[in-house]
């Protein structure tokens, strides 16, 4: 969470805990593994031991050195407030802040559309290959901004677009390219007022049909064809929304293109540690999982092509922005100002949603407007004057 290391545990009763990975004695990490199964975390430094609920359960020499004066109930691991939503775990250090639903506001519909199963059902995703983690020398907001609404940078991916890159092996970069060509849906940018949350996606104009994508892979084609009709039957009118990307303020982005979630963890202002997971439907045939995995590797894996294009832009833009002369000049964020609509005729988008069709910087403006407000309102404001 940000620059803090946390341990996510499931206790004996099945409850999820998000615990600060710092021993309360001198701060040593009590867990240094990415995953595993344990009931206790024993600190390697002096042996304080915590349960997987974060309680301090053993202190060496509690009697002889602390003379029984230490109260272990006051020295458990610091616990964040956690919330589980459709298998995703969200946490905050703020015990009194808004509920998850309040925090998400109208962006919850768009996030749910992303995390919803292909058939609109109650199935489960599984993450393949663990979490891909890497560091890039740029500010963490580059990624968050890019995924919040940048439909403009196709130019950057033109080499990927020229090769047969899509999951089906057809020309183009995206799963949805054939759908877009066949159906010409609205391409919409969604900004949720005063939250910084944004989404991008396609809204089909009415009753639309399945567009064959995987003609040369019958099992895969049949899987997605059936899922399409089941989803439409279940979600009805709402199946018209086909999610692409989005950013949940401040640092989580999702992409339905490769079915992945990225956290942009700040390592100070000049470095970002990206964590990305890729999801496949747990009960899908192996052929489907393979196609999705291979596509994700081509698109965003360590040897992929698309995320690499993006990162090259972010890190040089970051480097370029740091000069004393460069930092005197503002960037241009004026694209599409005045073309935002509040009366988009889709009531299930929810309240406080601003929509712009096509290519715009509406979402980036909304993201940074909220960022500026949070920074102005945050603790520490005015410290410089003191």
- Its sign, for the CA torsion 83, 84, 90, 91, is positive
Q: Which is nearer to ligand FES, 58 or 293 (CB)?
A: 58
Q: Is residue 361 involved in binding Fe ion (CB under 5 A)? A: no
Q: Does 161 bind Fe ion (CB under 5 A)?
A: no
What one-character-per-residue DSSP string does 91-159 give?
Answer: EES-TTS--HHHHHTTHHHHHHHHHS-TTSSS--EEESSS-EEEEESS-THHHHHHHHH--SGGGGGHH
Helix or strand holding residue 266 (H, E): strand 260-266
Q: Can residue 135 be called a binding residue for ligand FES (CB under 6 A)? A: no
Q: How far apart are CA 52 and CA 18, in angstroms?
A: 10
The DSSP bridge partners found for residue 248 are: 252
25 lines the binding site for ligand FES (CB under 6 A): yes
Backbone phi and psi for residue 221, each to the nearest 5 degrees, phi listed first: -60, -45
Q: Which one of ligand FES, Fe ion, none interacts with residue 23, CB within 5 to 8 A by kind? A: ligand FES
The footprint of ligand FES on this chain (CB under 6 A) covers a number of residues equal to 9
Residue carrying the six token digits 């020499």: 61
Give dist(CA 118, CA 288) in Å, integer: 12
Site for Fe ion in 299-318 (CB under 5 A): 310
- 144 touching ligand FES, by CB under 6 A: no
Q: Which of 178, 128, 180 is nearest to 292 (CA)?
A: 128
Binding partner selected for residue 310 from ligand FES, Fe ion, none, CB under the kind-specific 5 to 8 Å limit: Fe ion
Number of residues that bind Fe ion (CB under 5 A): 1
Q: How far is the CB of 126 from Fe ion (least distance, A)?
A: 25
CB–CB of 27/47 below 8 Å? no
Q: Which of 230, 213, 338 is nearest to 288 (CA)?
A: 213
Interaction with ligand FES in 342-371: which residues (CB under 6 A)? Answer: none
Q: At its nearest, how many Å lie between Fe ion and the CB of residue 309?
A: 6
135 binds, among ligand FES, Fe ion, none (CB under 5 to 8 A by kind): none
Q: How far is CA 141 from CA 40, 86, 183, 364, in A?
A: 36, 26, 33, 10
Which of 6, 7, 43, 288: binder of ligand FES (CB under 6 A)? 43
Residue of the chain from 23, 108, 199, 353 that contacts ligand FES (CB under 6 A): 23
Using the rule CB under 6 A, give the single segment among 23-31, 118-126, 144-152, 298-306 that binds ligand FES. 23-31
Instruction: Restricting to residues 275-294, name those near ligand FES by CB under 6 A.
Output: none
Of residues 311, 219, 321, 306, the one with CA closest to residue 269: 321
Using CB under 6 A as the binding rule, whether residue 48 contacts ligand FES is answered as: yes
Question: Within 13 Å and on the Cβ side, how many CA atoms surround 13?
Answer: 4
Choose the one of Fe ion, ligand FES, none that binds residue 214, judging by a C-beta under 5 to 8 angstroms depending on kind. Answer: none
221 is an interface residue for Fe ion by CB under 5 A: no
Could you tell me which of 342, 365, 120 has the C-alpha nearest to residue 243?
120
CB-wise, 26 or 171, nearer to ligand FES?
A: 26
Least distance (Å) between residue 69 CB and ligand FES? 17
As measured in angstroms, the least distance from the Cβ of 73 to ligand FES is 17
Beta carbon nearer to Fe ion, 119 or 310: 310
**Distance between CA atoms of 356 and 27, rounded to whole angstroms?**
48
Q: Which of residues 8, 28, 89, 297 is near ligand FES by CB under 6 A?
A: 28
Q: Name the residue among 74, 98, 287 with its Cα closest to residue 195.
A: 98
Q: Which is nearer to ligand FES, 13 or 69 (CB)?
A: 69
Measured from the CB atom, the residue of 31 and 138 that comes closer to ligand FES is: 31
CB of 2 to ligand FES, least distance (A): 22
Closest C-alpha among 30, 35, 36 to residue 54: 30
Within a 10 A sphere around the Cβ of 230, how many other Cβ atoms? 16
Task: Answer yes or no whether residue 7 interacts with ligand FES by CB under 6 A.
Answer: no
Binding-site ranges for ligand FES (CB under 6 A): 23, 25-26, 28, 43, 45-48
Binding-site ranges for Fe ion (CB under 5 A): 310
């Amino acid at each position: 969470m940000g620059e803090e290391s946390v341990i996510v545990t499931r206790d004996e009763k099945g409850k999820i805990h998000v615990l600060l990975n710092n021993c309360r004695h001198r701060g040593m990490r009590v867990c240094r593994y990415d995953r595993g199964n344990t009931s206790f975390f024993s600190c390697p430094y002096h042996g304080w031991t915590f349960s997987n609920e974060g309680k301090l359960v053993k202190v060496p020499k509690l009697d002889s050195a602390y003379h029984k004066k230490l109260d272990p109930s006051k020295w458990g691991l610091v616990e964040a407030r956690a919330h589980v939503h459709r298998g995703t775990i969200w946490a905050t250090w703020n015990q009194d802040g808004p509920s998850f639903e309040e925090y998400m506001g109208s962006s919850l519909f768009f996030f749910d559309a992303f995390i919803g199963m292909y058939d609109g059902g109650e199935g489960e995703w599984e993450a393949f290959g663990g979490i891909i983690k890497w560091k890039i020398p740029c500010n963490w907001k580059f990624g968050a901004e890019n995924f919040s609404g940048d439909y403009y940078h196709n130019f950057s991916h033109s080499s990927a677009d020229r090769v047969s890159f899509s999951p089906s092996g057809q020309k183009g970069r995206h799963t949805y390219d054939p759908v877009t060509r066949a159906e010409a849906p609205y391409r919409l940018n969604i900004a949720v007022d005063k939250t910084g949350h944004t989404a991008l996606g396609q809204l089909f104009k009415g009753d639309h049909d399945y567009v064959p994508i995987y003609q040369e892979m019958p099992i895969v084609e049949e899987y997605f064809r059936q899922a399409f009709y089941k989803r439409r039957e279940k979600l009805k009118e709402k199946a018209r929304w086909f999610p692409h990307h989005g950013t949940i303020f401040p640092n989580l982005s999702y992409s339905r293109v490769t079915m992945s979630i990225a956290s942009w963890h700040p390592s100070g202002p000049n470095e970002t540690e990206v964590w990305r997971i890729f999801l496949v439907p747990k009960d899908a045939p192996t052929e489907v999982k393979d196609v999705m995995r291979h596509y994700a590797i081509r698109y965003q894996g360590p040897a992929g092509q698309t995320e690499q294009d993006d990162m090259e832009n972010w890190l040089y833009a970051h480097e370029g922005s740091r000069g004393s002369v460069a930092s005197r000049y503002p960037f241009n964020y004026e694209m599409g100002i005045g073309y935002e609509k509040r009366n988009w005729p889709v009531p299930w988008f929810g309240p406080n949603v601003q929509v712009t069709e096509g290519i715009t910087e509406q979402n980036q403006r909304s993201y940074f407007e909220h960022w500026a407000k949070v920074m102005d309102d945050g603790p520490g404001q005015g410290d410089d004057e003191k």
